[in-house]
A and B are shown apart, each in its own frame.
Chain A
Amino acid sequence: MRKLSKLLLVLSFALSISSSAFAVTAVSWGGAYTESQKLGYGDPTAKKLGIEINWVDYSGGLSEIKAQKEAGKITWDIIDVFAMDTINGCDEGLFVEFDFDKDFPPAPDGTPASKDFFAPMPSKCAVGNILYSWNYAYNTNNVKGTPKTIKDFFNTKKFPGKRAIYKGALTNLEIALAADGIKPGKGGAKIYKALETEKGVDRAMNKIKELCTDPNGGCVFWSAGAQPPELLVSGEVVMATGWNGRFFNAEVGEGAPIKQVWDGQGLDYEYFVLVKGGPNEADAKKALAMMTSTEMLAGSAKYIAYAPWRKSSLKIMEAGEPWYKDGKTNMVPQMPTAKSNTKNYFLVDPIFWADNGTELGEKWEAMKAGL
């Protein structure tokens, strides 16, 4: 008996060593999102390459990987990060810089990877994974009429009731200007040009302040992605900005009485980065290239309403509709990048936010403190 348990102990130890030595560790946000990544492209890639991919959860930010590096014991290979983190992490030398067209396969029709992706990468260390939207939704039971534009979100006369907005300045300043009459222009360039000036920032802040102090309006600030649909369904607010995947889940997955509005949406991105000096860098690089190929990226959209980065992936989805896992929902119209949803939109500018995030954050908090 004792021998057996000893043997087991040795065996399990050996197994744990071997699995940690050969597996690739991919780090992401957990929940339904990681599930979609694992089922959509993680598992198929692992099977094809014969590499084990372990998915680990984290809560965002670069503090953990920076600490791992400073301690000299890096345990992560691939991380799913925000655009701003790819810039900051790349500047700090935490991530591997890519030679984009060489490291990533072209589209099936031969278009090089750099042309196939929706927008240029914000840094040399990033490869796109999904695009999601900061759009808004309303509760169909509590709103009379149909809000259609981003102006309607701020129109408390026509649509009275409280609004839920994100607790930080990110995207709020942009939609405020879009609603105040600035045409976003190509990818929102005009909005960011306006925000470069103090006048533009003040204009945006005032618009938000107006909405929040309006007796017919008022604001609830949300901090977790699950809050907006919850606030809408409970009737706490009549409209809420939020992430489209969460709204989709409530609307299609749970049949909640909410509807999304795509006008004035902000397209934001998730990226993968490859950790420099990670435990299994070579395999991780191979896995990353395969996971971000056309077919694989399309896979994740089967499970969640976020758009694959590659334009060519949409074609695969179109041909395979209904693409959603329930077998009856068409996914292309739910994609933030779909033609019908990108008539009036802006691309969240990570370089602008990397530049000005702290200062605008301070101004934003000061404005909130005066509400």
Chain B
Amino acid sequence: MSSQTQKILTTDGTPLEVSLKKAERKNKIKAFLLVAPLLFFLLITYIFPIGDMLLRSVDDKMVTEMLPKTFKSMEKWDGKELPPEEVFESFYLDFSKLVDEKREGKLSTQLNYTKNGFKSIIKKLRRKSKNFEEGNYKDQIMAVHKRWADVEYWKAIKRRAPPITYQKYLKGIDMYQNESGNIVSVSEDRRIHRILWLRTLEVAFFVTLLCFLMAYPIAHLLATLPMKYSNLLMICVLLPFWTSLLVRTASWMILLQQQGIVNDFFVFTGLVADDARPEMMYNKTGTYVAMTQILLPFMVLPLYSVMKTISPSLMRAGKSLGGTPFIAFWKIYFPLTIPGIGAGCLLVFILAIGYYITPALVGGASGTLISNQIAFHMKSTLDWSFASAMGLMLLTGVLAIYWVYNKLVGIDNIKLG
């Protein structure tokens, strides 16, 4: 009785608490409906594909289902010497079934990812297996091609047994799990991915550094010049955006190659001898120059937007309090621009880490980065699971950098404009 009377009622008799909650819920639903399209869009274009990538990179059901008998009989095999007749027989049975279903091509593609050389011997086996006699499959299969008598190839098949695998991730850092379960490196002349990862990081780091060093003065100039000059300068910064990436890359090639315009100018002015023209293209220098120019606006714009908000009176105050121009800059101006630096560096670094067309064209022997490798497996070998694994490793790397940045500078400090 008493609790009833204590409740405050609205004019239509419902308790205030309830009606407030109702109104709040309504608002919440409205707000949700407003962002729902965006959420939906993100789900379809971002979260779902990344989830799909994750699944693809570990899913290895296909081979497990293709060779059920083989894998079952392989359980007892120690993986040191050639497997016993039993394994060969069940492999033959699985294989004949695949041939009937016309799926042996898919098997050859999959096994070729694990070890090169499977494509042709499976094709050969298909041709020959039609005339196989019953019994003694081991000798018959081994007679098809010498690789079928090579234990390495059988080990490679065994490695594909588990339906879920992280082999692709190991492959991304030039390692694999051998039959005794140890994780070991691949042979030395094939360790390419580690080199590529390091090279990608190196290129992205130096491009970011160069961009920062060049963009800082430009952005400062933009923010401090009178409007009529700064507008013109701004157009100069934005102009490259209107030109295709390939055109810009190609123009750098014309400028910087050994017989190019810049070198011609050097020779003309007598700076260098005609037979000692420096190489500025088809090596890392070329990559740095072209990528820095292409990514420069992404550093200038966030810096500019931050610098624009810094009042010039702060520097004057610093100087009037006795600081030299450098101390005033270092103690007052620079710390205020850190949010812009953070945003610019993060933006440029993340863009640079995924670049591949420009380095491939101007980078010469060092022009292959990890993204080229991803594109190669996407387009040529169709090993999408390996491409996914490397893509996710790249994404994880970027997230890690983001995390480090957050710890060091704080992500709330970022300012994009």
Q: Distance in Å from the Cβ of A176 to the closest Cβ of chain B?
A: 16
Which A residues touch B368, using CB under 8 A?
167, 365, 368
In the complex the two chains form, is B380's CB within 8 Å of A355's CB? no
Partner of A221, one of B103, B195, B364: B364
Decide yes or no whether B109 CB sits under 8 A from chain A: yes
**CB within 8 Å of A: which B278-319 residues:** 282
Which residues of A sit under 8 angstroms from B366, Cβ to Cβ? 368-369
Given A223-B360, A368-B365, A355-B119 contact (CB < 8 Å): yes
Of A162, A212, A354, A360, which contacts B119 at CB under 8 A? A354
A319 lies within 8 A of chain B by Cβ = no
Question: Of the candidates A90, A162, A361, A368, which one forms a contact with B376 in the assembled complex, judged by CB atoms under 8 Å apart?
Answer: A361
- The answer to whether the Cβ of B120 comes within 8 Å of any Cβ in the partner chain is yes
A-B contact count (CB 8 A): 110
- List the B side residues contacting A46 at CB < 8 Å: none
Chain B interface, number of residues (Cβ within 8 angstroms): 42
A62 touches B379 (CB 8 A): yes
Separation of A371 and B282 alpha carbons in the complex (Å): 13
Contacts of B365 in A (CB 8 A): 212, 219, 221, 368-369, 371
Per-position binary interface string of chain B over residues 257-289, scored 1 when its CB falls under 8 Å from any chain A CB and 0 otherwise: 111100000000000000000000010000000
For A75-109 the 0/1 string (1 means CB < 8 A from B) is 00000000011011011110000000000000000
Given contacts A62-B382, A224-B361, contact A351 B189 (CB under 8 A): no
Q: Which one of B106, B189, B361 contacts A92 once the chains associate, using CB atoms below 8 Å? A: B106
B109 contact from A92, A365, A368, A369, Cβ within 8 A: A92
Does A61 lie within 8 Å of B105, measured CB to CB?
no
Which of B192, B260, B360 has the most CB atoms of chain A within a 10 A radius of its CB?
Answer: B192
Q: Is the CB of B190 within 8 A of A92?
A: no
Rounded to whole Å, the gap between the CB of A104 and the closest CB of chain B is 22
Q: Known contacts A63-B382, A93-B105, A167-B360; decide if A221 and B376 are in contact (CB<8 Å).
A: no
In the bound complex, do residue A235 and residue B259 qualify as a contact, i.e. CB atoms below 8 Å apart? Answer: yes
Cross-chain contact A357 with B380 (CB below 8 angstroms):
yes
Q: Which residues of A contact B231 (CB under 8 A)?
A: none
Flag if A221 contacts B106 (CB, 8 Å): no
Most chain A beta-carbon neighbours within 10 Å: one of B117, B195, B254, B381: B381
User: Please, which residues of chain B bring their CB within 8 A of the CB of A367?
Assistant: 189
Residues of B within 8 A of A366 (CB): 189-192, 195
* Interchain residue pairs with CB less than 8 A apart (24): A61-B378, A63-B382, A88-B382, A91-B119, A162-B258, A167-B360, A167-B368, A219-B365, A221-B364, A223-B361, A351-B119, A355-B112, A355-B120, A356-B116, A356-B117, A358-B113, A358-B383, A361-B376, A365-B195, A365-B196, A366-B189, A369-B192, A369-B195, A371-B365
Q: A85-B380, A231-B257 are in contact. List 20 more A-B contacts (CB 8 A).
A: A62-B382, A63-B384, A66-B384, A88-B381, A91-B109, A91-B119, A93-B102, A162-B258, A219-B365, A223-B360, A234-B257, A236-B260, A351-B120, A355-B116, A355-B120, A356-B117, A357-B116, A358-B381, A363-B189, A366-B189
A residues near B (Cβ < 8 Å) are 60-63, 66, 84-85, 87-88, 90-93, 162, 167, 212, 219-221, 223-224, 231, 234-236, 351-352, 354-363, 365-369, 371
Closest 6 CB pairs of A and B: A91-B105, A61-B379, A359-B116, A235-B259, A365-B192, A368-B365
